Copies of this chain bind each other. A is one copy, B any other.
Amino acid sequence: MDVLNIRTNKREELIDITELVNNYIHKSGLHNCILLIYSPHTTCGVTINEHADPDVKNDIIRKLKELVPLNGDYAHIEGNSDAHIKTGLIGNSAMVIVENDTVKLGRWQGIFLAEFDGPRERKIYLQAVKSV
C-alpha cells in the first residue's frame, strides 16, 4: 500500500488528483491492474467526474451544500455532520483500471479528492490488484 499526502485549502472543494495518481503509477512500474483509491477519512471522499470545466466540480459542491446544509437537525457535537453525510453519499473510494502505465479514464474524467471539512492534511491510500 502507498499513500498520497494532499493539503486541502477550503472547507469544501473537489481537488483533482489525477496527475498525482498517474505519477504514482509511473513511479511504481504498475502495468495492468486495478487500482483502489481510498480515503481513510470520514469527512472526505473520492469521486470521478468531469475535470475539463471547473464549473462542474463547483456545481457538485454547491448542490451538495444545498441538499445537506452545514447547519441542520444534527446530533453529532463536532458540528460537521454534513461532511460525514456528504462522504457517505459520494463514497470514500474509487476503483480505476490501469493499462500500459496509465489510468484508463474516460475523455472528460478526472479523479477528485472530495473535501467536505477542510482545510486539512489528507491522505489517500493506493492499492493495486493484478488484472486477470
B40 touches A109 (CB 8 A): yes
Given A75-B55, A88-B49, CB of A97 within 8 Å of CB of B60: no
Cα of A39 to Cα of B50 in the assembled complex, Å? 12
- The segment from A4-12, A15-23, A66-74 that touches chain B is A66-74
User: Contact mask A95-114 → B, CB, 8 Å, 1/0?
Assistant: 11101000011111100000
B73 touches A85 (CB 8 A): no
Given A42-B50, A56-B42, A99-B1, CB of A104 within 8 Å of CB of B87: no
Using Cβ atoms and an 8 Å threshold, which residues of chain B touch A90? Answer: 88-89
Taking a contact as CB atoms closer than 8 A, the residue among B38, B40, B106, B132 that contacts A33 in the complex is: B132
